[in-house]
Amino acid sequence: MPVDVVFFGPPGSGKGTQASRLASTLGIPQISTGDLLRSHVARGTELGKIAKPIMDSGALVPDDLVIRMLKERVEEPDATGGALFDGFPRTVPQAAALDKLLQEEGRAVGVVLFIDVSDPVIVERLVRRSLLEGRTDDTPETVTSRLRVFREKTEPLAELYRQRNLFHRVDGDRPVEAVAADVLAAVNHAAGRILA
Ligand code: AMP
């Protein structure tokens, strides 16, 4: 039975690292809309040209564009047995689109992991990451703006998934191994329910 996992958290929460570890543990692809968009930017596609200035400003790329891009990725053969969605959905309409997309395949979101980190820790981590990786959307100004966008547009998804009993909050302000152990425990807990 396919397992579909949603990962979300503020920028700099370490969700990418945790998502990639969990995806390999579960043997499902990690679908990161941030990575997909960065690849479009690097290849200079039409979508990439639209997305670049939006990403650099710290805002969200319009729902219709991201949803279309995600749909294409989900339809690739490696994702038929489930996928780990990293950084998607980020808005309520995206969450609805994901439900619809999975439903068409007889699938459903099985577990939602929220990697939670406090704002001061995030700002410090992201500014450090910008120095190490040279990401153009990690400047102090965009970090603040991405954080605001997250709190306004994405955090409300927590309530939506909480009501559906899918939501697990993990304290991300700890060493990677400790966070990974909690992530796995949450998935095992959910798996018991999914397979029951
Ligand atoms: P990330 O690597 O997940 O932090 O994403 C980097 C940037 O890509 C974000 O700040 C947004 O501009 C854009 N992005 C990634 N995922 C989405 C999404 N699901 N919806 C809208 N914009 C997105």
What pLDDT, in 10s, does the model give residues 49-73? 999 999 999 899 999 999 999 999 9
CB 51 within 8 A of CB 40: yes
In the CATH scheme, what architecture does the domain 3-31+83-190 have?
3-Layer(aba) Sandwich (3.40)
Domain boundaries of the chain, sorted by first residue = 3-31+83-190
Give 145 Cα–ligand 1 centroid separation in angstroms.
12
Q: Residue 9 above 70 pLDDT? A: yes
CB 73 within 8 A of CB 79: yes
Residue 187's nearest CA partner among 82, 61, 103, 49 is 82
What is the band of 196 on the pLDDT scale with cuts at 50, 70, 90? very low
Q: Residue 195 above 90 pLDDT? A: no
Residue 90, ligand 1, Cβ within 6 A: yes
Average pLDDT over residues 12-31: 93
| pLDDT tens by residue, 128-147 | 877 787 777 777 778 888 89
Q: Residue 102 above 50 pLDDT? A: yes
Residue 128: the pLDDT is 81
Give 193 Cα–ligand 1 centroid separation in angstroms.
30
Helix (H, G, I), strand (E, B) or coil at 15: helix
Give 22 Cα–ligand 1 centroid separation in angstroms.
20
Q: Which residue has the tokens 């999914």?
A: 194
Helix (H, G, I), strand (E, B) or coil at 109: strand
Q: Which among 90, 117, 136 is the best mutation to test ligand 1's pocket, defined by most ligand atoms within 8 Å of the CB?
A: 90
Q: Residue 25 above 60 pLDDT? A: yes
Question: How far, CA to CA in Å, does 14 sit from each of 17, 28, 53, 88, 157?
Answer: 5, 19, 24, 15, 19
